[in-house]
Structure 1
């Protein structure tokens, strides 16, 4: 049975989201309204699968709290709720240990999709920030074409891409595949180049579509 924590200072947001989750997912939903209660809820002996955290709940500029949150969370999936989103904010969220972000104003169907995606071990970002505009230095992010889903990636590159899609760092990928971290860097660079994306974040977002049924 799933155990999901909704951590947000706004009661109405927590209540509406909890009711939606209870209607659509099988599990227990816990509400908390402040940072200390969130840490305590994560320290419960009961296994937690996902924490949905409102950005306003996080103490601004307090790396000590974020470190404590990550220690308490361990392998728990973390989803950040923000009022506005951008590609830069998404990358910042990943660097802080979150596995995706959602907009506070997103429709409930989209929120549920985000939660299911995150619980499934993948990264999630709203459609609004996936429409990356091309620049002179970086081409538009390519979409998989029928019959050419792998983009010519080797088996090892597909394995690396699958782990990028789960939010793993180069060091973690190296450990998972039993290869050198320097080798991982080479594969990551090749994957980014072959997919025509600008960074590993965009590669991670394309990974589920490209690798569907293959890795």
Structure 2
């Protein structure tokens, strides 16, 4: 959108090459600006405190303060900053812990670069983003602990057809704006549907809703 300010991001990872790669991907989107970088969790918190970015991208494993502890501290001192955890398939236990602590997003370091950009925009818009591959992995391991498939299907059975459509698109990683375009709705209507869905399913955030969508078989793959 012309004249819109870019999404300001603080990036934290203890591997310089990973930071460089993530920064290069984000630089392809003029709507995103990396304002600072850190090599450990403690520095990440201080940079977030100083720069007040909209999004903090945090590696789960970092020295001095790991990504989960850094995210918790960021939510305490700068609650308006959304947090996205960068993870690998070998860190499923950390993903499960982060789910319980309300992180806004989860992305695979080796995932599709488009997911990185989509995830930053999604959480910046007040939503959350769960990489589809991360969602599938969490469910395969039973780490989400939200529900097994029969129970998930029972939980979603009471939703209206339109609410099920919205939930499925949340599970597929779409932002509110993308869901609105796909279903030919205005964005405010999508937000209203999500409020109803969260209440009826008794989930705390978009990430838990996405996992439940996978559990219930609403998302392909």
TM-score normalised by length of structure 2: 0.59
Q: Unpaired segments of 5 or more residues in structure 1?
A: 165-186, 208-215
Q: Which structure dedicates a bigger proportion of its chain to helix?
A: 2
SS state of the match for residue 3, structure 1? strand
1:32 aligns with one of 31, 38, 41: 38
Alpha-carbon RMSD across the aligned residues, in angstroms, is 4.1
Other structure's SS at 2:85 match: strand
Residues 159-213 of structure 1, C-alpha deviation per residue, up to 9 Å, x if partnerless?
Answer: 6346x4xxxxxxxxxxxxxxxxxxxxxx44xx36xxxx9x985435578xxxxxx
Matched, 1:125 2:143: no
Q: Does 1:115 align with 2:150?
A: no
2: CA distance between counterparts of 1:86 and 1:16? 20
Is the partner of 2:149 in helix, strand or coil?
Answer: coil
Q: Please state whether the residue corresponding to 2:52 is helix, strand or coil.
A: coil
Q: Which runs of 5+ in 2 are unaligned?
A: 165-188, 214-221
1:99 is the counterpart of 2:112: no
1:1-215 mapped onto 2 (5 Å cutoff): 1=5, 2-29=7-34, 30-44=36-50, 46-57=51-62, 59=64, 67-84=72-89, 89-131=94-136, 132=139, 138-139=149-150, 148-150=161-163, 158=193, 160-161=195-196, 164=198, 187-188=199-200, 191=201, 202-204=208-210
* Maintained 8 Å contact 2:56/2:81: yes
Shift of 1:111: 1.6
Q: 1:9 to 1:87 in 2, by over 3 A?
A: closer
Kindly state the Cα deviation for residue 61 of structure 1 after the two structures are TM-superposed. Answer: 8.0
TM-score under structure 1 normalisation? 0.61
1:8 is displaced (CA, Å) by 0.4
Q: Distance in 1 between matches of 2:90 and 2:78?
A: 23
Conservation of the 8 A alpha-carbon contact between 1:93 and 1:99: no
1:82-102 Cα deviation digits (max 9, x unpaired): 112788754521322411211
* Helix, strand or coil at the partner of 1:150: helix
Aligned length: 170
